[in-house]
Chain A
Amino acid sequence: MAQKTKEAILKELAEAVMTYDQDAARRAAQEALDAGITPIEAVDKGLRPGINEVGERFGRDEVYLPHLLMAADALKAGVEVLQRGIPKEDLEKMQLGRIVIGTVKDDIHDLGKNIVAAMLSASGFEVIDLGKDVSPEVFVNKAREVNADIIAVSSLMTTTMPYQREVVEELKYQGVRDRFLVVVGGGPVTAEWAERIGADSFSENASGAVEVVKKLMAMKRLEADE
């Protein structure tokens, strides 16, 4: 059997994500490694174009939240294969950032948060979703445990918005405010509120959240390089 070209393998990686097929993603990832394609190239030119296409279809209402989640799972399955045996510093390069996300204490609205989490995953971020009704301590402890870059805090009600501030206060209390970037969002949340409570940024909607997080990570990397 003729050996597959590099382009064919990268296309298979993209298609595995676009068809939500975890097994196919694992197979194509192994083929990529066997063919000498670097993990970074396999992600950037294979898996990521696939997830980008799913994200665009989601934005056009052609696919739905479950598809986005399944595509993110397929991407993750491929990345897990590609990660095996590669140096830690290369692994870091493959990853855009690690985000702990959740809806604040006493707020059970998680639609917006779920979409943001799925879109961040689909954009290549590692997302740890804590769900809804999450206390400030849980946000901060989990962020410390997984060494997150960003804590993303959602609230849909004016009466639960103060718990976004509590997350910032908990970070200060634990003496780790400088270790994490904090992004807030949700229906009643504004840029003024984010500034007032000492968050690093805010987003009005899900697609905006991905851009905000990308910008914050770029700034963080720049600061780290300086």
Chain B
Amino acid sequence: MRLPALPLVARKLFRRRIVLGAALALAAVIVVSLLAGPLSGFDPNETAVGQRLHQPSVEHLLGTDELGRDIFARIAFGGRFSLTIALLTSAGSVLAGTLLGLVAGFFRRLDAPVMRVVDAMMSFPDILLAIALVGILGPSMLNVVLALVLVYTPRVARVVRASTLVVRELLFVEAARAVGVSTSRILWRHVLPNLMSPILVQASFIFAYAILAEAALSFLGVGVPPEIPTWGTMVAGSQQYAHQALWIVLFPGLSIIVTALSLQLLGDGIRDLLDPRLRKSM
């Protein structure tokens, strides 16, 4: 699929200030995470007992935590882990969900079996299912990703199935058949590219959910092991000091909020841009 000229799409997308703001905030988060080392100048895991719970200063931009570690460095490095987990979760569940949804929507025979399993999985509250899965698999970054992929796959599958049902009936699918195109080629080359907009929107929403879910899991102690800095483990580890040093929960918490909110707003922006019913009002 060739996308229409990007600058025009971007211009349309960013016509709304809030979407532009979200994109800029997200870009800032990503840049800070990528340049974590040179920007902060501290090792995120270097403890300095003499500098416990220092408040934000010129030396420690966002203060230090209960072990004297630089919070800015930890947020920047933690961002790498949080964003990686969210990215892998988003990619994994979009991949699996698209496959399931496409197959269920296109082949009527597979619809009921696949969708009943999906419904069963969706009947669990998200975070509860994730807790149970990580509980079984054991806390590690990979297991958190696996658990979240399992939680979010049904969501994507439903959306993709619904869109497949619509696209499948369009005349160009029949026209492709009339040209002698095989079923699998119709599925991949003709149906799938037409589902890109709902898939893209789901991907951005799941990215946001995954950031929150990782934080929640880590906070509850069933996520990433505490020695790896993620935004979730930072909030979890420092909660008991919050009443004396607000900054040690405030800044990781803000990172989570800003990132998740930006992703949601961006996802909204993309959805509005791609939804023909809303396009006119923009």
**Do A and B originate from a single complex?**
no
Residues in A lying within 8 Å of B, measured CB to CB: none
Residues in B lying within 8 Å of A, measured CB to CB: none
